[in-house]
């Protein structure tokens, strides 16, 4: 019959272990009480590094490329609507990662990416639901984002969409963007859109 080895714990070792365990347990309990005791609290904005709010303006061109071997915008949900007179059938959804450039030429300086989705959300007109992040790559804005969510009636000359937030330089961002179609190719369905962004941030 195999013998089970016995482990001898010195009284002093047991005492030290017990004290460490109990004090750690009590400390964690106290921390939980401090953390979960209050649902909401008021903070000094300066503690978050927030300074006086400022208004910035950006202008760039957004290139939606659906043609060719390497499109930046792809259809992920096809419209089930049959014999639709609309260019974009109700329900059609695209995911995109589009270039943002300084000028209208797609080969001009890259300043960021427009990443998001659009869906044809109207049954009797061309109006998109758009949700996208402008991901900036230029200068002090590199790595920061502005998030836009709204309705885009694409046949209107100027479309306005709200800014709902941001990250990095644009934390706590608000404002709006104006979109104007610069060019649209009926053969390829590729589009270039001028964006003017008016953003309040700290």
Helix (H) or strand (E) holding 24: helix 11-36
- Is a pLDDT exceeding 60 seen at residue 107? yes
Under the phi-then-psi rule, with left for phi > 0, alpha for psi from -120 to 50, and beta for the rest, what region is 56? beta
Residues 116-163 have pLDDT tens digits of 999 999 998 999 999 999 999 999 999 999 999 999 999 999 999 999
Asked if the structure places residue 21 within a domain, the reply is no
Q: Which of 2-6, 64-68, 172-176 has the lowest mean pLDDT?
A: 2-6
The Cα–Cα gap between 134 and 196 comes to 12
- Is a pLDDT exceeding 90 seen at residue 12? no
Q: How far is CA 170 from CA 55, 84, 111, 176, in A?
A: 11, 41, 16, 13
pLDDT (0 to 100) of residue 47: 81
Of the candidates 129, 139, 193, 198, the residue with the CA atom closest to the CA atom of residue 168: 139
Residues 49-96 have pLDDT tens digits of 778 899 999 999 999 999 999 999 999 999 988 766 667 799 999 999
| Boundaries of domain holding 72 | 53-201
CATH number, domain with residue 183: 2.40.480.10
Asked if the structure places residue 77 within a domain, the reply is yes
Asked if the structure places residue 58 within a domain, the reply is yes
- Is a pLDDT exceeding 70 seen at residue 16? no
Asked if the structure places residue 196 within a domain, the reply is yes
pLDDT (0 to 100) of residue 65: 98
pLDDT (0 to 100) of residue 42: 81
Asked if the structure places residue 62 within a domain, the reply is yes
pLDDT (0 to 100) of residue 27: 44
pLDDT (0 to 100) of residue 90: 92
- Is a pLDDT exceeding 70 seen at residue 18? no
pLDDT (0 to 100) of residue 17: 47
- Is a pLDDT exceeding 90 seen at residue 11? no
pLDDT (0 to 100) of residue 8: 52
Q: pLDDT category, 103, cuts 50, 70, 90?
A: very high
Total number of domains in the chain: 1
Asked if the structure places residue 35 within a domain, the reply is no
Asked if the structure places residue 165 within a domain, the reply is yes
Asked if the structure places residue 194 within a domain, the reply is yes
């Amino acid at each position: 019959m195999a013998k089970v080895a016995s482990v001898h714990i010195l009284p002093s070792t047991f005492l030290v272990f017990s004290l460490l365990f109990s004090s750690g347990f009590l400390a964690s309990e106290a921390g939980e009480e401090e953390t979960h005791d209050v649902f909401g609290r008021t903070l000094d904005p300066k503690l978050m590094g927030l300074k006086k709010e400022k208004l910035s303006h950006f202008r760039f061109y957004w290139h939606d490329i659906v043609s060719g071997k390497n499109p930046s915008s792809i259809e992920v949900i096809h419209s089930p609507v049959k014999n639709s007179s609309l260019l974009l059938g109700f329900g059609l959804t695209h995911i995109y990662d589009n270039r943002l450039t300084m000028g209208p030429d797609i080969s001009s300086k890259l300043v960021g990416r427009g990443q998001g989705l659009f869906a044809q959300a109207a049954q009797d007109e061309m109006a998109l639901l758009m949700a996208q992040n402008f991901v900036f790559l230029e200068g002090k804005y590199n790595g920061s984002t502005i998030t836009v969510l709204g309705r885009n009636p694409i046949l209107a000359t100027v479309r306005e969409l709200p800014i709902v937030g941001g990250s990095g330089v644009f934390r706590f961002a608000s404002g709006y963007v104006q979109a104007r179609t610069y060019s649209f190719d009926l053969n390829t369905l590729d589009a270039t859109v001028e964006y003017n962004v008016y953003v309040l941030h700290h």
